[in-house]
Amino acid sequence: MLNTSSRREFVVAATLLTFTLAGCSRKMTPAQARASDVPFRSLDTFAVTVLDALGETLLPGSAAAGLSHYIDHQLSGSLADSMLMIKYLGVPAPYTDFYLRGLRAADALAHAVHGKGFAGLTHEQAVGLVGKMAGGQVEGWQGPPVGLFYFVLRSDAVDVVYGTKAGFEQLGVPYMAHIEPPSRWGE
């Protein structure tokens, strides 16, 4: 029979995402993984650098919230366990190539327009380029559809900043969980 525990009385089984540090598996938030400098598994150093810079432009605070570690963790696991928004958007799995090609294209755009990589742009320059990406039309863009890439990355940034209990609290939204999510990402 179905066990319908009444109302909000479910036991919280709190586990964090599993990251591997110094050969040991540890449960931690993406923010903690970033602070602990957990090695990446799917993203290379170049991709992480661009991703952090893009993330900060899309939503300030997303880099510190562990955006890169969150995406890397999700890309490195099974599709069934993935929590990335891209699952909804008609992009065939696996998604790593989508991210890598998009990040390369964004960096190439920065070089083409400003003569330097995305991570080296001033705030105003980065905002200007992301504004073009948001418009969905960028001449010479060599990656996944630019509007889709913008939307995916923006959604990821929103997820790590606002999609958590801490993010809800930041906005003054009561979380009201029946079953608490395992991780308080963004702490």
Partner 1 sequence: MTASLPKDPVDVIVVGSGAAGSNMAARLAEGGKRVLILEAGPARGPGHLISSTLYARRVKWTGPPVLDEGRNPVGFVFNSAYGTGGAAMHHYAVWPRMHAEDFNMRSQHDRGLDWPLTYTDLATYYDAVQQEAGVSGDAAKEVWRPIGAPYPLPAVPVFPQGNAIARGFEKLGKTVAPLPIAVTSTDYNGRPTCLWDGWCDSGCPIGALANPLTVHLPRAASAGAVLVNDAPVTKVLTSDDGTRAVGVEVALKDGTRQTVNAKVVVLAAFAVENPRLLLASATPKHPQGLGNSSGFVGRYIMTHAAGLVYGLFSEDTRPYMGAFGGQLVNQDSYPKTTHAKSGAFGSYQWMIAQAVKPNDLLGISTTRPDLFGTALQDFMKRATRGFAGMTAVCEDLPVADNRVTLTDQRDVHGVPIARVTHTTHEESVALWKASLAEGKEVMQAAGAKEVWTGPPGSMHIMGGTVMGTGASNSVTNTYGQVHDIPNLVVAGPGLFPTSAGVNPTFTVHALAARSAEHVLTTWQKVAG
| C-beta separation of 151 from 133 below 8 A | no
| C-beta separation of 57 from 130 below 8 A | yes
Residue 36: closest CA among 45, 26, 44: 26
Residue 58: closest CA among 184, 145, 142, 159: 159
Binding of partner 1 by 27 (CB under 8 A)? no
Return d(Cα 80, Cα 110) in angstroms, integer.
35
Q: Which is nearer to partner 1, 23 or 178 (CB)?
A: 178
Binding of partner 1 by 137 (CB under 8 A)? no
Q: Which of 66, 102, 163, 186 binds partner 1 (CB under 8 A)?
A: 163
Q: Which of 16, 64, 119, 134 binds partner 1 (CB under 8 A)?
A: 134
Q: Which is nearer to partner 1, 21 or 158 (CB)?
A: 158
* Rg for the chain, CA atoms, rounded: 18
Given the rule CB under 8 A, which of 24-32, 99-107, 108-116, 166-174 is the region that contacts partner 1? 166-174
Amino acid at 158: V
Given the rule CB under 8 A, which of 18-26, 29-37, 45-53, 130-138 is the region that contacts partner 1? 130-138
Residue recorded with tokens 């809800």 = 168
Site string for partner 1, 65-104 (x = CB under 8 A): --------------xxxxxxx-xx-x-xx-----------
- Residue 17, beta-bridge partner list: 28
Q: Which is nearer to partner 1, 45 or 78 (CB)?
A: 78
Given the rule CB under 8 A, which of 20-28, 54-62, 97-105, 114-122 is the region that contacts partner 1? 54-62
Binding of partner 1 by 60 (CB under 8 A)? yes
What's the CA angle centered on 114, arms 110 and 120, to 5 degrees? 65
Residue 102: closest CA among 66, 62, 75: 75
Q: Write out the residues near partner 1 by the rule CB under 8 A.
A: 1-8, 10, 13, 57-60, 79-85, 87-88, 90, 92-93, 127, 130-131, 134, 151, 154-155, 158-159, 162-164, 167-168, 171-182
